[in-house]
């Protein structure tokens, strides 16, 4: 599995084994929202801010490859649904591990919504992708959420730690989940998952301090890093926000110290 180890080192910090990932796969789900209209420009800023990896759909790799600037790890997203769907929680596979290899990806990611109406189909797809990743030595990131008619609170520690564990049990190398609101509760999630756990940023927060506090709390709980999308690429200064997140994850900055990066 040396191939997987080498690829993982392209999307994590080789010294502390932690990572800052910026997903920018939102165009399929909600269209060309603020921050991803000019994707190359935003990727340049995110890269200069120090992110270890970005998540893109295959079309943006084909049409938007940067041929200059600071390098950054490429994670190809294999799942999709749109907000126009009658059931946007039902994700379908729209790309393969083999395509990801041809496109030069360092890892792949999938999105699973536990509790959704087609949970069993998504879990079946997870198993299929996991097998292919083992065959090819490709790192797998699983975005594990709990969203569906029977989920009362997708941020509740019980369902979040269940989601994280499912991701690990089915073969993910890194699991991405919602933050549970405190370092104390998120520590339960981390302890129950045998692979690194990174937090999702979710909707754009009202203040910079809110997202930085989330990341600081997750790191205090033992998280493996952060996967922050809109709160990074929609920021008025994406490079600075990415740098602030980077410094919390990789240099153990306090929230107050990280805020100074934004000044």
Check 176, 179, 246, 253 and give the catalytic one.
Answer: 176
Of 147, 143, 185, residue with least CA distance to 164 = 143
253 in catalytic set: no
41 in catalytic set: no
Q: Is there a contact between 255 and 212 (Cβ–Cβ < 8 Å)?
A: yes
Report how far residue 187's alpha carbon sits from residue 124's, in angstroms, rounded to the nearest whole number: 29
145 in catalytic set: yes
DSSP code, position 248 = H
Token pair 């008025």 is at which residue? Answer: 236
Write the burial class of residue 12 (CB in 10 Å: 0-12 exposed, 13-18 middle, 19+ buried).
buried
Check 25, 44, 173, 208 and give the catalytic one.
Answer: 25
Check 18, 44, 91, 145 and give the catalytic one.
Answer: 145
Report how far residue 177's alpha carbon sits from residue 170's, in angstroms, rounded to the nearest whole number: 15
Angle, nearest 10°, between helix axes 183-191 and 157-169? Answer: 30
Q: Report how far apart, in Å, the C-alpha atoms of 179 and of each of 93, 149, 166 are.
A: 25, 21, 16
Report how far residue 58's alpha carbon sits from residue 10's, in angstroms, rounded to the nearest whole number: 19
State the CB neighbour count (10 A cutoff) for residue 206.
8
* Cross-strand partners of 143: 111, 176
Report how far residue 197's alpha carbon sits from residue 218's, in angstroms, rounded to the nearest whole number: 9
Residues acting as catalytic residues: 25, 145, 176
């Amino acid at each position: 599995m040396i191939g997987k180890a080498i690829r993982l080192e392209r999307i994590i910090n080789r010294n502390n084994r932690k990572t800052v990932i910026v997903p920018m796969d939102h165009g399929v789900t909600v269209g060309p929202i603020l921050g991803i209209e000019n994707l190359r420009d935003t990727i340049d800023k995110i890269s200069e801010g120090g992110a270890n990896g970005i998540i893109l759909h295959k079309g943006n790799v084909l049409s938007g490859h940067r041929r200059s600037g600071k390098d950054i790890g490429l994670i190809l997203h294999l799942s999709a649904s749109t907000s126009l769907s009658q059931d946007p929680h039902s994700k379908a596979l729209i790309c393969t591990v083999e395509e990801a290899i041809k496109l030069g990806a360092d890892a792949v990611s999938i999105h699973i919504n536990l509790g959704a109406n087609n949970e069993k189909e998504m879990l079946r797809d997870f198993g299929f992708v996991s097998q292919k990743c083992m065959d090819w030595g490709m790192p797998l990131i699983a975005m594990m959420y709990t969203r569906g008619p029977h989920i009362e609170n997708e941020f509740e520690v019980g369902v979040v730690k269940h989601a994280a564990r499912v991701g690990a049990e089915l073969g993910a190398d890194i699991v991405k989940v919602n933050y549970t609101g405190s370092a104390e509760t998120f520590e339960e999630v981390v302890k129950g998952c045998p692979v690194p756990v990174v937090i999702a940023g979710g909707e754009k927060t009202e203040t910079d301090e809110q997202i930085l506090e989330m990341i600081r709390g997750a790191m205090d709980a033992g998280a493996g890093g952060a996967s922050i999308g809109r709160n990074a690429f929609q920021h008025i200064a994406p490079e600075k926000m990415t740098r602030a997140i980077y410094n919390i994850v990789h240099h153990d900055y306090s929230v107050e110290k990280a805020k100074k990066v934004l000044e």
